[in-house]
Chain A
Amino acid sequence: MRSFPLRDARGRLVSLHDVRGRPTLIAFASRLDLEARRDQFRGELRSLGAALIVITRETIALLAPDDDVETLELVGDGGTDALFAHFGVKPGADGAHPLGLFVVDGDEAVVWQQIATSAGTDDTEELLAALRRAATLRQEASSAAQPLFNRREMIVTSLAGVLSVVFLERLGWARSPAPPAPTGATTSITLQVNGVTHKLDVEPRVTLLDALREQLGLTGTKKGCDHGQCGACTVLVGGRRIDSCLTLAIMHQTQPITTIEGLANGNGLHRMQAAFVAHDAFQCGYCTPGQIMSAVAMLEEGRVRSESDVREQMSGNLCRCAAYPNIVAAITSVMGKG
């Protein structure tokens, strides 16, 4: 793994993965003004327990929760272009500029990343809002009186998990590459999603999952296996849970569709969402929307009497992080409230 040692104004060495004992968030942007919102950034970073390194083509800036904004210099050749290249952050088409966010481990291997292009000119507010939401989620998930994470690896993992949840939604950054552009004839269809009627043009072969994600921008519904084996794509159609990857969008023009984006009531989380946060029922968060949709439908079905019923009737939703104990705890806590 190539590493990129940095030097601060006083000549001290700083690494990309560790700033004076804190894990870092590494952001790539075209324009990001830390100074303008320094105090706000500091507050969020304090809650997250992380420092922030912002890399633009011109400069590298560092903000740790209790310090001023510092400028860093890259030790060695290549300038910031080498960093952009190393992390795979490239300019987009049509002048859209790249945005990237990374969490790295102690070997500077990337443990979490999001790369997208943005048409905006300044990413300051976007990043700040996302960090604020991440910090709130983190606080809700852990008890304030008792620090949950002591070891650095745990902080990195938890940071990555919380950021996944926030960024995938907040910035609408897609994780998987878009399916090949349609080449065949399209048909006009109507879908009723989360109470809104959408008209869209799709090829008949487009799955409900791809239509939701790629055409309606509802990326809360996840593509895992794309073959009905993992349940990450679970949505409700006519109130029933189905795998949206194994059905065509064109087949669902009459019944209302509910996705994870349609569960909350404004800013108030659905009680199942709140329970997942309260019980820390995820690590990476990728399966979580499917788990939550499936759990909501399962309780509606009304056949769950015990924890073992939960395990059996949730067996269509896999979690590669194996957060099952906490998922079961979250669901049973909602059952308990009737």
Chain B
Amino acid sequence: MREIRYLSVAAEGPAIRALQADTDATYLAGGTSLLDLMKLEVLNFAQLVDVNAIPLTKIEVSNDGARIGSMVRNSDLALHPEIAARYPLLSEALLSGASPQIRNMATVGGNLLQRTRCYYYRDPSTACNKRNPGSGCAAIDGYNRNHAILGTSDHCIATHASDMCVALAALDAVVHTQGPGGERHIPFAEFHRLPGDHPEIESVLQHGELITAVSLPPPTGLRQSRYLKIRDRASYAFALSAVAAALRIEGNLIRGARIALGGVGTKPWRAVEAEQALVGKPANRATFTLAAAETVRGARTRPHNAFKVELTRRAVVRALSTIRGAS
């Protein structure tokens, strides 16, 4: 890691001003992504502004929904009794990510900005448009087994790595920020950007904008849910394909559906067409199979990741079948 300057702040105002004063500074929360990548010299910030002392650590749950402070640790959120009861999809997704040690460190705000696990992004000796804009993409013609099949561009095929974000996409979360220009409330689907011509820009956040909270609407019809994560080992591995799904079934008819995917998209991937294919249909395997096909429509595969198409279809069917079986 290169030399850094360090500043600890205890309130939003000083944090934002510190970043406004220094274009080569960034916020430091849990550090589990940032310090990892700074050690590799993939990221090289001159100043870290430690926001751990800012008291954004509340979890408030009511009939109007939930509001989660951005400094809440992943483990505290996953194990919060009311979150686990009302948003089990979120708890399940969080507990499937990383390790207990890392979940004790990683924050909600930081996890929204988790970086990709693309091997080339993490290796400064290779070409990567995300790390070094304009240098090319070593993954497109390289070894691309863990790469995306949805939302890719000719410049980047890296996946978004967070499990939490997949659940938040399905749950219609809103990201709350405070910045030089005041407050913003950003719908989750608009928070992350597709790589397009600028894979180095991953979200709509402006320099100095600080994530303060994530809010969730009431979980109406979302409690019958399942986060299914397919990976190379049983625990502590990134997703090859992950499915966050929720179903509201009345009689035998599907009245509401949510599906989001992880491990296959360049951002947390909400599968709206698949949801539409489910609503109003009988909750059976034929319906699930049709919806599963919708999730990967338009997938662009590479030699080593083509398996993710069938894997994702099957994962979607399994997740939906599990929910129906339990309801």
Contacts and interface: CB of A to CB of B under 8 A. Distances in A.
Interface of A is mostly: mixed
Contacts of A247: 31, 35, 105
B121 to A, nearest CB: 14
A311 B236 CA distance: 11
Nearest to A312: B235
Nearest to B5: A204
Nearest to B37: A227
B3 A294 contact: no
A240 B79 CA distance: 14
Nearest to B76: A240
B99 A231 contact: yes
A315 interface: yes
A184 B99 CA distance: 33
Contact of A246 (B8, B35, B234): B35
A250 B6 contact: yes
B23 interface: no
Contacts of B48: 204
A316 B235 CA distance: 9
Contacts of A317: 99
Given A187-B6, A203-B3, A242 B101 contact: yes
Contact of B32 (A183, A228, A294): A228
Contacts of A298: 100
Given A184-B3, A240-B104, A250-B6, A315 B99 contact: yes
A2 to B, nearest CB: 36
Nearest to B32: A246
B6 A316 contact: no
Given A207-B35, A246-B31, A316-B101, A183 B3 contact: yes
Contacts of A315: 99-100, 234-236
A36 to B, nearest CB: 47
Contacts of A231: 99, 101
Given A227-B39, A248-B31, A312-B235, A234 B101 contact: yes
A226 interface: yes
B1 interface: yes
| B contact residues, range | 20 to 34
A264 to B, nearest CB: 22
A241 interface: yes
Contacts of B5: 204
Interface in A278-327: 294, 297-298, 301, 303, 311-313, 315-317
Contact of B236 (A203, A226, A316): A316
A82 interface: no
A205 interface: yes
Contacts of A204: 4-6, 48
B52 interface: yes
A243 interface: yes
Interface string A236-254: 0000111100111011000
Of listed B38, B52, B79, B100, residue having the most chain A CB within 10 A: B100
A242 B52 CA distance: 15
B100 A313 contact: yes
A207 B104 CA distance: 17
Given A187-B6, A205-B1, A248 B35 contact: yes
A311 B100 CA distance: 12
Contacts of A301: 100
Given A184-B3, A251-B52, A243 B236 contact: no
A316 B105 CA distance: 13
Nearest to A187: B6
B36 interface: yes
A242 B8 CA distance: 20
B50 interface: yes
Of listed B8, B38, B99, residue having the most chain A CB within 10 A: B99
Given A242-B101, A242-B105, A248-B6, A311 B35 contact: no
A327 to B, nearest CB: 14
Given A234-B101, A246-B35, A316-B99, A311 B235 contact: yes
Given A250-B8, A315-B100, 7 more contacts: A204-B48, A205-B1, A228-B32, A246-B105, A247-B35, A316-B99, A316-B102
19 contacts: A183-B3, A187-B6, A205-B3, A226-B39, A227-B40, A228-B101, A240-B75, A241-B104, A243-B32, A246-B36, A247-B35, A247-B105, A248-B28, A250-B50, A297-B100, A313-B100, A315-B236, A316-B99, A316-B102
Top 9 closest pairs, chain A to chain B, by CB: A316-B99, A204-B6, A315-B235, A184-B3, A315-B236, A243-B101, A240-B104, A316-B101, A205-B1
